[in-house]
Amino acid sequence: MTLVSRHVRSSTDPGRVAVAVRGVDRTAVVGEHDLFLPSRALVPAVRRTLGVELGVIASAGHLVIDECADRLVELVTG
Tell me the β-bridge partners of 56: 30
pLDDT at 70 over 60: yes
Q: What is the pTM of this model?
A: 0.68
Residue pLDDT, tens place only, 1-45: 555 556 555 666 666 667 777 787 888 999 999 998 999 989 998
Residue pLDDT, tens place only, 42-57: 999 899 888 899 999 9
CA distance 59 to 75: 16
CA distance 76 to 56: 14
Tell me the β-bridge partners of 29: 55
What is the pLDDT, as a whole number, of residue 2? 57
The pair phi, psi for residue 55, each rounded to 5°, is -90, 140
What is the pLDDT, as a whole number, of residue 24? 79
